[in-house]
Amino acid sequence: MTPVLTAEEIQAFLLSVFPKLPSKVISIAPGQLVMEHVTRPYDIRPGGTISGPTMMTLVDTVMYAVLLGHIGTVAMAVTTNLNINFLRKPEPGVLKAEAKLLKLGKQLAVGEVTITCNDDPTPVAHATCTYSIPPSQSAK
């Protein structure tokens, strides 16, 4: 799987459709993409940990980004499944999400995401996702 977009092109597209996107594409490589999210006060839940919805949003965003990076700007690619396991309590700071495409077909893409926090390599969450690629769209 060879990327067809650069990290900068993906970030620009994401900002064009999600102008308030708080996450940033850091790098893209064959079958992989890394994104960072600096937590904000409203990302923190009672108990001082990063909320589950914040991490789920990051998972969905990084999977969308890795998919677009490999098929082009197919805006209507959509999530059909997202399964996440929260592994430990993340402290506020910087979340790093690493997405890997496991399968990239004509109609479906399957991937996994590992989230770490504050430069600690121990995962705080792991997710798998499936995306549907619109039949009228071909990979670029």
CATH number at residue 89: 3.10.129.10
Segments forming the whole domain that contains residue 112:
7-132
CA distance linking residue 49 with residue 77, whole number of Å: 31
pLDDT of the residue at 75: 77
Task: Please report the pLDDT score of residue 136 as a whole number.
Answer: 64
| Residues 76 and 42 sit within 8 Å (Cβ to Cβ) | no
**pTM strictly above 0.85:** yes
> Strand, coil or helix: what is 129?
strand
- The answer to whether 40 touches 4, Cβ cutoff 8 Å, is no
CB 127 within 8 A of CB 61: no
Spans of the chain, pLDDT less than 50: 137-140
DSSP 80-105: EEEEEEE-S-PPSSEEEEEEEEEEE-
Q: Are 32 and 98 in contact (CB under 8 A)?
A: yes
State the total domains in the chain: 1
What dihedral angle (degrees, nearest 10) is formed by the CA atoms of 12, 101, 79, 84? -110
- Asked whether residue 140 is domain-assigned, the answer is no
| Tens-place pLDDT, residues 36-61 | 999 999 999 998 999 999 999 999 99
Please check whether residue 99 is in contact with residue 63, taking contact to mean a CB–CB distance below 8 angstroms: yes
